[in-house]
Amino acid sequence: MSEQELIITDIDEYLAQNERKELLRLLTCGSVDDGKSTLIGRLLHDSHQIYEDQLEAVRSDSLRSGTQGNEMDLALLVDGLQAEREQGITIDVAYRYFSTPKRKFIVADTPGHEQYTRNMATGASNCDLAIILVDARHGVLAQTKRHTFIATLLGIKHIIVAINKMDLVGYAEETYQRIKDDYAAFSMKLDIHELRYLPLSALNGDNVVESSTNMDWYHGAPLMSMLENIQIASDRNLTDFRMPVQYVNRPNLDFRGYCGTIASGLVRRGDELTALPSRKTSRVKSIVVYEGELEEAFPPQAVTITLEDEIDVSRGDMLVSSNNPTYLSDRLDAHVVWMSETPMRPGKQYLIKQASRKTTGSINNIRFKVDVNTLEQQPADSLQLNEIARCDIGLTQPLAFDAYRVNRKIGAFIIIDRLTNVTVGAGMIVGTGSTTTASLWEEGGTPGLRGVASRVTADERSARFGQTPLVLLLMGLTGAGKSTIAYALERRLFDMGHAAAVLDGQNMRLGPSKDLGFDLESRSENLRRGVEISKLMTNAGLITIGAFVAPSEEVRQKARETLGDSLVTVHLNAPLDVCRERDTTGLYTSAERDGLDTVPGVTLPFDPPENADLVLPTHELSVDESVERLIELLRERGALGG
């Protein structure tokens, strides 16, 4: 039975089916006059999503203010402002809802003018997919790059590059391929999860809902088919439970519930939760919704959670999984999009609002400003309207957060002017600020926590394994051979009957350090986490083989202070030219070509270790020879027993 028939015969079943459909939020963006509004209008028209009275109004308005002569101007379906219709442009963000048998959609039509970049960023903030339109006559423009960069910055993982107005270039495959190649060369610098290309004519409907007979050389699906079938379910974070508390419900003496919308993760009855910033813990007693109680809940459900213990939880606090905690810090490292005509001034006090929590803070430092047309990083003392920068932000109260790329809901915040109450900026958190990163090395840790002693002594472990545990830290430039030699040494020690394990800095980024970038502070934090894990492995009696770039001498010294005599350092000293030749990932080539500031030895400093216990010239030694020298070093340190 079709949807139209179901509406007539059983409206309740139609509404129930529609509620169960997956929702895709998308936006159209690109340069001025690339055809964004026309594409949405054509999509709605050809999929029969326009009511007769709406269609008649568009026909009437087309004769008065349309741009297609006597033909119907479908762009008027979304360009509703008088100024938009008079100029034939999009100024404000317009939203349209529609549904097909497979999926329901909310589409945002965003403006293409540079001065309205803040409007585009607003429209993109909640979207799963972006359609970047490119005029086939003009190719990839500066605004195309700008909107692509902002879309990726805002965490949109799926991008469709729609090369529009193919009818004006004779549906030429050569034009499509040239633009596709140009865009691909630019987008290589960006972190795009899924990228698709599509030639179309929004005006004539080619490849919008139905495949075009004018472009038989294109063998892909039309736009509507892409939108219905693209996979977004895996984009949701169902691992890290986070729920900002919006309201404390206290209707009587026997009930106290904490209300909010689940931002990410699953929660079940009996789960242990931690309230932040107080760090008090309790277990879930019940999960209450309008219909009754649930055994489990997931995003984006709005629920009321009751706890077994009477702990202090207020509006603005956050409930998180005790087994999977988040950051809590008064220092943020974030990308900031400035949205005000009044320039941003470092040091000025603003309101910082994240989810339901609001505090005051200031931008302490602008690390660099991004030229969104070239992606070059530039120094800056302040930010003007629509500019984007990487900033260090200090807060008067700590925020609980995840990195934005891990959790878009609680990794974002807005900046509000305290006098006018106007939103002047938006931020996407990269991680903790530099001050907090450094303080994590200090003793003390979380208040109220203490270590628990094992019932197995260090001597018992040494006797069982026939070894003395230590941490062997292999450090050097990318391509020096750290991972290769580390795993070869692990194999050799295992064959000798010893208990050893590799802690690879690269593998750390797939788990404990997946929220970190590749700047100096992030590399320092990656090593810090590795050191803490190494302590646990050493306490378990293992020989730990660490493989980290570790570019900073200051941070290496902190590692030595933390691990003491159990740390043995080895510098894999291969010349930069040799490391370049060994590089199979193209990292060095990309750094020099694109100006990436994330590669030690090229665009970041690398401090040669001053007091390494061993230096291995890996350009002169084979892997086996390097392993032999490391075995000899371990014997000298008494790690391998008798």
Query: Does 366 have pLDDT greater than 60?
Result: yes
Q: Is 251 helix (H, G, I), strand (E, B) or coil?
A: strand
Query: Does 64 have pLDDT greater than 80?
Result: no
Under the banding of pLDDT at 50, 70 and 90, the label for residue 132 is very high
Q: Does domain 242-321 have CATH number 3.50.50.60?
A: no
Residue 379: count of CB within 10 angstroms of its CB: 8
Query: Does 319 have pLDDT greater than 60?
Result: yes
According to the per-residue pLDDT averaged within each range, which of 93-107, 593-607, 615-629 is highest?
615-629
> In the predicted model, what is the mean pLDDT of residues 636-641?
85
Which has the minimum average pLDDT: 64-73, 267-276, 317-326, 513-522? Answer: 64-73
Please name the fold of domain 3-235: Rossmann fold (3.40.50)
CATH superfamily of 458-636: P-loop containing nucleotide triphosphate hydrolases (3.40.50.300)
For residue 242, the 8-state DSSP code is E
Query: Does 91 have pLDDT greater than 80?
Result: no
Query: Does 438 have pLDDT greater than 50?
Result: no
State the Cα–Cα distance between residues 346 and 612, nearest whole angstrom: 41
pLDDT score for 326: 85
Please write the tens of the pLDDT for every residue from 462-516.
888 888 899 999 998 888 899 999 999 999 999 888 999 999 988 888 888 887 7
- Give residues with Cβ within 8 angstroms of 392, minimum separation 6: 331, 332, 333, 363, 364, 365, 367, 433, 434
> In the predicted model, what is the mean pLDDT of residues 309-338?
89
Query: Does 255 have pLDDT greater than 90?
Result: yes
Q: How far is CA 164 from CA 88, 90, 134, 241, 557, in A?
A: 17, 17, 6, 41, 57
Extract the tokens encoding 92: 């404000």
> In the predicted model, what is the mean pLDDT of residues 121-131?
85
H-only helix segments in 337-433: none
Domain(s) of CATH 3.40.50.300: residues in the chain: 3-235, 458-636
Please write the tens of the pLDDT for every residue from 13-49.
767 777 778 888 988 888 877 787 888 888 887 777 7
Q: What is the CA radius of gyration of the chain?
A: 29
**Which backbone phi and psi does 337 adopt, to 5 degrees?**
-100, 120
pLDDT score for 301: 92
Domain(s) of CATH 2.40.30.10: residues in the chain: 242-321, 327-433
Rounded to 10 degrees, what is the CA torsion of 248, 250, 251, 254? 140
Which class is domain 327-433? mainly beta
Please write the tens of the pLDDT for every residue from 552-597.
888 888 888 888 888 999 999 888 888 888 876 667 776 666 556 6
State the Cα–Cα distance between residues 22 and 104, nearest whole angstrom: 6
> In the predicted model, what is the mean pLDDT of residues 412-428?
92
Q: What angle do CA 362, 366, 368 make, to 5 degrees?
A: 155
State the Cα–Cα distance between residues 311 and 138, nearest whole angstrom: 61
* Length of the chain measured in residues: 642
